[in-house]
Structure 1
Amino acid sequence: MRRLSFAIATLLAATATVPLAIAKGPDGPSAPVDQIVDQGTRHGEVMRIAQYLTDVIGARLTNSPGMRQAEDWTQAKFREWGLTNVHKEGFEFGRGWSARNASVKMVAPRPLTLIAAPLAWTPGTNGPITGQVVLAPMADEAALDQYKGKLKGKIVLITEPADIADATSPAFRRYGDADLDKADTFELPGGPSAATRPQRGPARQIFLAKRDAFLKAEGAIAYATMSSRNGKLIHGQNSQFRVGATPPLPGFEIAAEDYRRLARLAKMGATPSLELSSDVTYDDSDTKAYNVIADIPGTDAKAGYVMAGAHMDSWAMGDGAADNAAGVSMVMEAARIIKALNIKTKRAIRFVLWSGEEQGLLGSMAYIENHIATRTIDPTLTDPARYAAWGKSFPIKPGPDHARLAAYFNLDNGSGRIRGIYTQGNTAVVPIFRDWLAPFSSFGATKVATALTDSTDHVFFDVVGIPAFQFIQDPLDYASTVHHTDVDTFDHLKPEDMRQGAIILAAFLINAANTSDPLPRVPLATQPKTLSEFYPAPGAK
């Protein structure tokens, strides 16, 4: 049994003598920290939630059987805890896909089992298939012509093998003060990070379709890509999920070390051959993906609501533990804590478990369009072009819940301990959040950082003027090892960190739901005079 940290143990001891009542402040009732700590530790469920999502359900690729099971199970838990308005809200996505088993074996020049995964939404092999390997890197359309007449009956390695890089950073780390200080830098609108905000143009998808058609026309029997990480880590990522747009040939991702070996053998003329097998299933019976929604009602129906969310979908390899069963479990545990303590708040508190985040924040985008705001976008655009255009299209038209949603809090950085919160350039909330974090300084959560952080479900809330925030979390081994890989399992989750995260989230939600006035908002964005200066193209200087 793991020992509780000194800070949590101290607060637990305090609950024996502090009256179980919500402290009254000048701005409405504030979060009863000691009660929350007691409920989140002595009676905590966060790791049981995480274990069911990972060990029992496992991977939750959008619209896969695992995701459907997770949708049902999480709704049942919300109802069990007494939340109301528990339901699924659908949006158009694409095909369901799952892989029952797969294998990649080198059969010449010697037998060897390789580490590999089928690429999501690629077809199965319909039994084992065998073919010679040909190295034919296809980075762009211009590269295709040189391989005409050379691929019939072949298994094509379509990425140039990158040289192995030396590891220069620790695989596991926690933030120090200097790391946290770097995040507390205000960036003027249109600054450097504008170029790194969600941008996925249509050119890549158009090329992928042409590449796949070329491989099929040339008579290739399968293709393979190289994993982007060393250490035999694999991901199986692929973005071709729309009905009518899935690839025609079986595709595999091969571990970097195994892929380089195949490429070396091919280059030296040793003619490697592979035996491939993948047993996959498509499901087109319901092409909608679903967000799971549950509420704790407020005492004032006119006061609006605050919200917490995390994406429940994962990639098909591993069990989607750090990304993002960790965030889902902390959000669900915050809901359970608040209900278990029967805490009443002026505003309602809504909990949402997103789908389709890994394919471009699709679930949160759909929710925003249905409830919060719409933007003027070319109606012919589809993913990922629509994703790229969404955050920089004007005008913004507020929807029915734009004024009602007072704040959104997101968790999607693994299971690391919360160290603070990003304000997304909202300077007016800085003193408020410092006060809210004050009880948790001994927990290690102290930093209120004005920096922007991107690439998860708070982003599109923020760009339509909703106060939307992502917590700062210790990175642990998230980026180095587990993110989207086959080793993203329960083993890598940190129980004490996740208990701390759920406790802080519950406190923030209670505070946000009870403030006399909603949290301050930044001005609703309007089209800048020179759009390209504020939203430069990827790679622009």
Structure 2
Amino acid sequence: MRRLSFAIATLLAATAMAPLAIARGPDGPAAPSAPVDKIVDEGTNRSEVMRVAQYLTDVIGARLTNSPGMRQAEDWTQAKFREWGLTNVHKEGFEFGRGWSAKNAGVKMIAPRPLTLIAAPLAWTPGTNGPITGQVVLAPMADEAALDQYKGKLKGKIVLLTEPTDITDATDPDFRRYGDADLDKADTFQLQNGGASANRRPSSASRMAFTAKRDAFLKAEGAIAYATMSSRNGKLVHGQNSQFQVGATPPLPGFEIAAEDYRRLTRLAKMGAAPSLELNSEVSYDDSDTKAYNILADIPGTDAKAGYVMAGAHMDSWAMGDGAADNAAGVSMVMEAARIIKASGIKTKRAIRFALWSGEEQGLLGSMAYVENHVASRPVDPALTGTNRYMNWSKAFPIKPGADHSKLAAYFNLDNGSGKIRGIYTQGNTAVVPIFREWLAPFNSMGATKVATGRTGSTDHVFFDAVGIPAFQFIQDPLDYGSNVHHTDVDTFDHLKPDDMRQGAIILATFLVNAANAPEPLPRLPLASEPKASDGFYAAPGAH
């Protein structure tokens, strides 16, 4: 049996003899806090968190939205929730697009010498229908103005679309944990600036329109395939692409080539050595069900009128690697928190709902669909779908509260890898700071100490927060998440940290129980309204 980490073992011994802490409100004691001793005991001595993570990664593997792997994960996680005794286990669909999977792929340089390259097929691009060969040509195409210069030069070629960048010296360690100074940086109150920043987001629609024109140009010019350079060094590849719409199959096979291999190809091309490649990719599309599905499961509360609290993590991943740190880790901790609460027999006034989101990697689409269907809606152009909908959603006013807006008391999210929880972002909600400090106090010896007023984005708490729900993301040690594993081919089970994930599940379970039993729902920020078009400074009449 694996030994418990010293911090967890120490806390377990101490809390086994300690009375329950009392959660204090502004006028004194408010309600008993979560039974930390029970939660720590269940979450350490009978933990299932790594077994869940291993099945999602080693057995199922990559879970691209609507892919066969994602469909298998949808079924398996529902069965697991039912096995643990959760209720109302079901999936909720939203319109997404087509499924795609790569069964086989390879890129070889065949001239001026034979060499196997590290590469990935770009998701949702077509296969090669057997091996194809051709010379490479470097033809960077960053915008429409670049297309004309390559007319008549691409027939039979494999086009390298990215202008190669020079390799830079690494200045940060590949693996790290947060120090006090790092945590302090997160504890900075950030003004919203009247919503002006939301209106300056780049247009996803314009990027997608250019991609379609570029692909059509390559096809018309007789190119046989194209490739881009990986954004990271170290032979890491991602395979990211967002052309998942039904009826919009890209005309050519696309690949991402590892940065070091890509630079070699461009150097050879520039010196006139005429490098040639053999490309091979076998892919399949599935348009039989264009809906993606969120998985939901409940632990009922004792008061049907008290509403519910919620925890979530996204289950979809990119097609390379096994989607371990991003985000089987978060899914496993959310599921383990559900198992801990249920197995411990803890009763809560409010219900607790667990959500495993789909379509996060394409624009938080699963959590957006849940918010729209249950919590609040915004007048977004119905013609906008996918990432275009994501880019415009927060700019649409007014917000119309839905049936669950008053019922949903809090949402907690996990999506920063398997690193130890070090604290929680409050999203500028200053009223929850003293509450969360008390909830974290039993876990200070585990390294969870910081309640930060700062905001963090780009994951599934965002749209809950945007409609006035108290919604939070935990602060986690970065480990090698950002440096190596995020979205890459090395995002595998090996990079997960068992002790950290046990700690994360225990803290999440505690926060859920505390929020579900609090006499009053967590404090809310005011519901956002449409900001003024100005930058907030007075302009005199006639001033320019």
Query: Normalising TM by the smaller chain, what interval?
Result: over 0.9
Q: Which residue, out of 213, 216, 219, partners 1:216? A: 219
Deviation at 1:2, TM superposition (A): 4.8
Contact 1:205 1:384 in 2 (8 A): no
Relative distance call for 1:438 and 1:18 in structure 2 (3 A) is closer
Indicate yes or no: 2:77 matched with 1:74: yes
1:402 matches 2:405 = yes
Q: Offset of 1:23 from its aligned partner?
A: 6.9
1:13 counterpart = 2:13: yes
Do structure 1's residue 61 and structure 2's residue 34 form an aligned pair? Answer: no
Please tell me whether the aligned partners of residues 60 and 320 of structure 1 are also in contact (alpha carbons under 8 angstroms): yes
CA contact (8 A) 1:95 1:243 kept: yes
Instruction: Deviation per CA, 1:44-81: give whole Å up to 9, x if none.
Output: 01000000000000000000000000000000000000
Counterpart in the other structure of 2:384: 381
Shift of 1:195: 6.0
Indicate the residue corresponding to 1:304 in structure 2: 307
Relative distance call for 1:196 and 1:119 in structure 2 (3 A) is farther
Distance in 2 separating the partners of 1:335 and 1:163: 47
Q: Tell me, what secondary structure is at the counterpart of 2:269?
A: helix
- Is 2:279 the counterpart of 1:267? no
Question: Structure 2: how far apart are the matches of 1:287 and 1:382?
Answer: 13
Distance 1:199 1:322 in 2: 28
2:112 maps to: 109
Query: In structure 2, do the counterparts of structure 1 residues 35 and 23 end up closer, same or farther at CA, with 3 Å as the change threshold?
Result: farther
Is structure 2 residue 202 aligned with structure 1 residue 229?
Answer: no
Question: Could you say if the C-alpha distance between residues 518 and 175 of structure 1 is closer, same or farther in structure 2, counting changes exceeding 3 Å?
Answer: same
Are positions 1:139 and 2:142 aligned together? yes
The equivalent residue for 2:541 is none
Give the alignment of 1:110-509 within 5 angstroms: 110-190=113-193, 194=197, 201-509=204-512
Cα deviation, residue 401, structure 1: 0.4
SS in 2 for 1:153: coil
TM-score normalised by length of structure 2: 0.95
Matched letter for residue 441 of structure 1: N
Other-structure match for 1:43: 46
State whether residues 407 and 519 of structure 1, in contact with CA within 8 Å, keep that contact through their aligned partners in structure 2.
Answer: yes
Q: Is the 8 A contact 2:194 2:535 kept in 1?
A: no
CA contact (8 A) 2:11 2:445 kept: no
Partner amino acid, structure 2, of 1:7: A
- 5+ residue gaps, structure 2, are 538-544
Matches within 5 A, 1:22-33: 26-33=29-36
> 2 CA distance for matches of 1:353 and 1:383?
18
How far apart, in 2, do the equivalents of 1:295 and 1:95 lie? Answer: 29
Q: Write the distance in 2 (CA, Å) between the matches of 1:75 and 1:383.
A: 25
Kindly provide the CA deviation profile for residues 69-108 of structure 1, in whole angstroms up to 9, marking residues without a partner as x: 0000000000000000000000000010000110000000
Contact 1:197 1:454 in 2 (8 A): no
- Structure 2: distance between partners of 1:97 and 1:298: 40
CA RMSD of aligned residues (A): 1.8
Q: Is residue 522 of structure 2 the alignment partner of residue 519 of structure 1?
A: yes
3-state SS of 1:496 partner: helix
Indicate if the aligned counterparts of 2:371 and 2:377 stay in contact, CA closer than 8 A: yes
1:23–1:31 Cα contact (<8 Å) kept: no
Distance 1:421 1:122, change over 3 A: same
1:326/1:415 contact within 8 Å kept:
yes
What secondary structure is seen at the aligned counterpart in 2 of 1:13? helix
Q: Give the letter for the 1:473 counterpart.
A: Q
Structure 1 residues 420 and 196, CA gap change in structure 2 (3 angstroms)? farther
1:122 alignment partner, SS class: coil
Aligned residues: 533
Alignment partners' CA distance in 2, 1:13 and 1:173? 29
Q: Secondary structure at the match of 2:193?
A: coil
3-state DSSP class of the match of 2:133? Answer: strand
How far apart are residue 10 of structure 1 and its match?
1.3
- CA distance in 1 between counterparts of 2:424 and 2:211 reads 38
Residues 377-408 of structure 1 show CA distances to partners (whole Å, capped at 9, x for unaligned) of 22222332221110121000000000000000
Contact 2:15/2:36 (CA < 8 Å) preserved in 1? no
Q: How far off is 1:6 after superposition?
A: 1.9
Match of 2:89 in 1: 86
Change (3 A) 1:493 1:390: same
- Match for 1:477: what amino acid? D
| 1:306–1:350 Cα contact (<8 Å) kept | yes
Paired residues of 1:200 and 1:387 also in contact (CA < 8 A): no
Indicate how the Cα distance of structure 1 residues 38 and 234 shifts in structure 2: closer, same or farther if over 3 A, else same.
same
| Deviation of the 1:139 alpha carbon | 0.7
The structure-2 alpha-carbon separation of the partners of 1:466 and 1:167, relative to structure 1 and needing over 3 Å to count, comes to same
2:286 partner amino acid: D
Q: Please, what TM-score do these two structures have when normalized by structure 1?
A: 0.96
Distance in structure 2 (CA, Å) of the matches to 1:380 and 1:483: 31
Q: Distance in 1 between matches of 2:447 and 2:466?
A: 29
* Contact 2:312–2:331 (CA under 8 A) maintained in structure 1: yes
Equivalent-residue separation in structure 2 for 1:283 and 1:528 (angstroms): 42
Q: Distance in 2 between matches of 1:86 and 1:113?
A: 46
Cα 1:24/1:356, change in 2 over 3 Å: closer
Q: Percent identity?
A: 83
Shift of 1:189: 1.6
Q: Is the 8 A contact 2:96 2:386 kept in 1?
A: no
> One-letter code of the match for 1:231?
G
Shift of 1:7: 1.9
Offset of residue 30 of structure 1: 1.5
Alpha-carbon distance between aligned partners in 1 of 2:197 and 2:183, rounded to the nearest angstrom: 21
Q: Supply the distance in 1 between the matched residues of 2:156 and 2:418 (Cα, whole angstroms).
A: 45
List alignment gaps of at least 5 residues for structure 1: 535-541
The whole-number CA distance in structure 2 between the counterparts of 1:73 and 1:377 is: 34
